[in-house]
Amino acid sequence: MEPIRISFMLRSVYDTLPSPSNLCRWGLTEDPSCKLYGGTATFAHILSGCKTALQQGRYRWRHDKVLQALAEIFKTERRKKRPDLRHEQPAIQFVKAGEKPQTTASSQGGLLSGASTWGMRVGLNKRLVFPDMVHTNLRPDIVLWSVKGKILIELTVPWEEGCGEAHERKMSKYQELLEQCRAKTWSACLLPVEVGARGFPAQSAWRLLQRLGVKGRTKRTAVRRLGEAAERASCWLWSRRDEQTWELANSE
């Protein structure tokens, strides 16, 4: 990693970056307010809580950087050849009395198993159009579909402490769309995923890849890519935090 990124990550964890709030607390300035919106400009406010930054699309830009990394991972995974588990005979497992059967990794093919091809749409640069005749205003970030069913993936890049709340909110938001899919006899599931604004993926990122059948080193590499995408984008947002016009700051 570049020294500036290492410094940013370490100082962000311990909240020692020179935010207006910290500078005021250290006695170096007298004004702790945000230059874009007002209010106390803590590090968390700058990276995920500023309403002006939200309206200007700064957080959306970071979200799309992580979404692009996620889409590239799925682009590779959905094209891999996997065994068709619909025709696979289950192995007979003998278990001693009073013991539970062990679930091996080989018996868990993941959601991508069972269909030879998967279509994919990603909500980058334009609004995602949901496949087939389901009339909805909801637009998940990624939709994977095949004869087996549909997989809806919704990404959030919140402040790390808000990952749990974001997960529950997205689960509730898309329940109606899931019911519409199931009413048409489609098998559908929703997989919300959160990657923290400082570059720390939530447990939902690991669960998402596990459920899709991504394992081992490939899974670890994928999670690291998601974290790096969020961390790089947040580092860029931090370096441009005082720019009043986002179009000027967005000339990366």
Q: Is 17 part of a structural domain of the chain?
A: no
Domain count, the chain: 1
Q: Is 224 part of a structural domain of the chain?
A: yes
State residue 235's pLDDT score: 94
Beta strands across the sheet bearing 142-145 = 119-122, 142-145, 150-156, 188-194
Range of the domain at 211: 57-83+112-237
Which pairs count as long-range contacts for 142-148, CB under 8 Å and 24+ apart, including other chains? 142/67, 142/70, 142/71, 142/74, 144/74, 144/78, 144/112, 144/118, 144/119, 144/120, 145/118, 145/119, 145/120, 146/115, 146/117, 146/118, 146/119, 147/115, 148/111, 148/114, 148/115, 148/187
Give the pLDDT confidence of 101-112 residue by residue, as tens digits: 555 433 456 888
Check which CATH number belongs to the domain holding 76 and give it. 3.40.91
Q: Is 48 part of a structural domain of the chain?
A: no
In the predicted model, is pLDDT for residue 87 greater than 60? no
Average pLDDT for 124-143: 78
State residue 106's pLDDT score: 38
pLDDT-derived band at 88, boundaries 50, 70, 90? very low
Which helix (H) or strand (E) segment is 74 a member of? helix 58-77
State residue 105's pLDDT score: 38
Contact in structure between 20 and 36 (CB atoms under 8 Å):
no
State residue 112's pLDDT score: 83
In the predicted model, is pLDDT for residue 156 greater than 90? yes
Contact in structure between 173 and 133 (CB atoms under 8 Å):
no
Contact in structure between 116 and 74 (CB atoms under 8 Å):
no
Average pLDDT for 240-250: 76
Q: Is 106 part of a structural domain of the chain?
A: no
Q: Is 118 part of a structural domain of the chain?
A: yes
Distances 150 to 136, 184, 191 between C-alpha atoms, Å? 15, 12, 11
Please give the model's pTM, rounded to 2 decimal places: 0.85
Q: Is 43 part of a structural domain of the chain?
A: no
Task: Round to whole Å and give the CA distance between 61 and 59.
Answer: 5
Q: Is 215 part of a structural domain of the chain?
A: yes
Q: Is 251 part of a structural domain of the chain?
A: no
